[in-house]
Amino acid sequence: MESVSLPRRGFLRGHIRTVTPGLRPPWALAETEFVERCTRCDACLQACPSSIVVHGDGAYPVVDFGRGECTFCGDCVEACEPAALRRAEHAAPWALKAAVGGKCLAMQGVECRVCGEICGHSAIRFRPRIGGVALPELDPETCNGCGACVAPCPAQAIAMESNG
Ligand code: SF4
Ligand code: SF4
Ligand code: SF4
């Protein structure tokens, strides 16, 4: 995975290490600027009503969809005084979309429609197939990147991937 060097002031203090980027909270600045601005104050962790913001590498905040979904409430952004999270008008929170991987039970021939039932945006549909179980079809245009389908998947087959 790509690594980003800590900012120059960290270098001058002698803290030479790299930070592995994770899924930053919504409306985060680009990774290099984010790491430069974020003071690791934990205000976003405490502000998130869904408790999905947790410590990532170097104690920088990351989103863990295994804990729930992002409601895009923006509470983390408002809590971020250094403005490492910054919500510009009409700006998308992130470029993440759900992607169904090969561990999907339906793809193994087992009837399962959990993700389709959980998705409040009808972004995952199941098309009936002759001679096999229905397979999930994800519409990236409809998916808003909330991550609600990640945790309920019994096979942990859904990942949130950046399409930006
Ligand atoms: S937008 Fe709201 S739900 Fe999403 S990570 Fe921020 S505080 Fe949590
Ligand atoms: S509130 Fe802002 S500065 Fe504080 S840990 Fe979260 S992103 Fe970093
Ligand atoms: S991320 Fe949200 S909108 Fe996208 S498929 Fe999953 S539940 Fe539906």
CA-nearest residue for atom 8, ligand 2, is 38
CA of 27 to the centre of ligand 1 (A): 10
By CB neighbour count within 10 A (0-12 exposed, 13-18 middle, 19+ buried), where does 2 fall?
exposed
Residue 20 is predicted with a pLDDT of: 78
CA of 77 to the centre of ligand 1 (A): 8
Nearest atom (ligand 2) to Cα of 43: 1
Residue 5 is predicted with a pLDDT of: 46
| Residues of the chain with confidence (pLDDT) below 70 | 1-17, 164
Nearest atom (ligand 2) to Cα of 42: 5
Q: Given the DSSP bridges, would you call strands 132-138 and 61-63 parallel, antiparallel or unpaired?
A: unpaired
Nearest C-alpha neighbor of 129 from the set 154, 106, 151, 153: 106
CA-nearest residue for atom 8, ligand 1, is 48
CA distance linking residue 87 with residue 92, whole number of Å? 9
Give the other-Cβ count within 10 Å of 145's Cβ. Answer: 23
CA distance linking residue 43 with residue 92, whole number of Å? 21
CA-nearest residue for atom 7, ligand 1, is 48
The domains located in the chain, with CATH, are: 4-79 (no CATH), 96-162 (3.30.70.20)
CA distance linking residue 158 with residue 103, whole number of Å? 9
CA of 55 to the centre of ligand 2 (A): 11
Instruction: Find the residues whose C-beta lies inside 6 A of ligand 2.
Output: 38-44, 61, 79-80, 82, 84-85
Name the DSSP letter for residue 77.
Answer: H
Residue 2 is predicted with a pLDDT of: 44
Give tens-digit pLDDT for 54-67: 999 999 999 999 99
Residue 28 is predicted with a pLDDT of: 97
Q: Is the CB of 124 under 6 A from ligand 3?
A: yes
Nearest atom (ligand 1) to Cα of 51: 8
Residue 164 is predicted with a pLDDT of: 64
Residue 151 is predicted with a pLDDT of: 97
